[in-house]
Copies of this chain bind each other. A is one copy, B any other.
Amino acid sequence: MIIILNNSKAAQIKQLLNTHFGGKTDIFTHGNRIALNKVTPDQLTDDEKAGIADIIMDHPGAVQSSRALHPEDTIIKLPHTQIGGYGNFVMMAGPCSVESEAHVSAMAKVAKDGGATVLRGGAFKPRTSPYSFQGLGVAGLKYLREAADKQNMDMITEVMDEEHLEVVCQYADMIQIGARNMQNFSLLKAVGKTRKPVLLKRGMSATIDDLLNAAEYIAAGGNTQIALSERGVRTFDDKYTRNTFDVSAVPVLKKLTHYPIIADPSHAEGHWDLVTPMALAATASGSDGIVVEIHDNPEKALSDGPQALKPKTYKKMTSEVFALHDMLNSFNQQEGAVVNG
């Protein structure tokens, strides 16, 4: 349960609760709110009750991730980008894989020209088959860093294991945990010990609660610079799309958690011509940004060519997405949607 304390007595009651329950359960504090795992209201003393404004019983088990404990938006600050928070909107773009120094450099320029401030690209690639291209590794990290620096962009790339966590953190501004590793709890714990911003992608059959609990593994280590990414889930129909893009996960997550939500229409759809309509849909649903794959020659891409936008298509998409986000901001300025009126 999460307790909202009377402001006047907050410090005093926190101390009482910490003394009473400390060591017996997990306790988390945020402002005048305090979360006590597995404690029920009937365990509270009269003195404790006297300082309580409200108690919230219905919240995700991933309590640090919860808006019930932490009502305001988390804002992740990268050198060139703010992710999350009212009015902010981030475009992340780049090739699926880093293919060469020259190629990622060229793609970074395209990404920047289209309004992206974060360059994405894979140096370590989680491929379904061991016989597929596995990425350039550390060389890829270097190329990404140089390409991002040349364009004054931030850089995000995937980390697949603890062994490479240090080197990835050394090069990247933000690290990504892929869908297949969403419940690689050892990796989550290791990332939790860093203070590097992280984009956690939703697993292919992860429920909303699974995703929040995965984030909680990171937060439990002290790293709360977390963004979550919807990238499509597995359903019974994959003939015309690679996955089923669960767009409504965006408003659901915005309601439940304070972390920013980034939508990935490229992996969700798997076909370039569906990326623009679904980038618009995700933006309209309230996402804090879009991550998208681009390539100047998709037929020759070393991975995921069919979903890559070519430069002109990409720039048309971003201009539309930015215009749509501006319009949405104007809607929300008028009124929030908390009460059904």
Contacts and interface: CB of A to CB of B under 8 A. Distances in A.
Interface string A325-341: 00110010011011011
A273 interface: yes
B278 A248 contact: yes
Contacts of A323: 327, 331
Contacts of A285: 277-278, 280-281
A130 B229 CA distance: 20
Given A129-B62, A129-B213, A284 B324 contact: yes
A81 interface: no
A290 to B, nearest CB: 12
B276 A216 contact: no
Count of this chain's copies in the oligomeric assembly: 4
A169 interface: no
B208 A186 contact: no
Contacts of A269: 248
A237 interface: yes
Interface residues of A, number: 85
A184 B280 CA distance: 32
A126 B181 CA distance: 12
A185 B282 contact: no
Given A160-B185, A207-B239, A245-B246, 7 more contacts: A131-B216, A208-B237, A233-B244, A236-B236, A244-B246, A251-B278, A309-B340
11 contacts: A126-B183, A127-B185, A128-B209, A161-B162, A205-B236, A207-B236, A207-B239, A247-B278, A252-B274, A311-B341, A324-B324
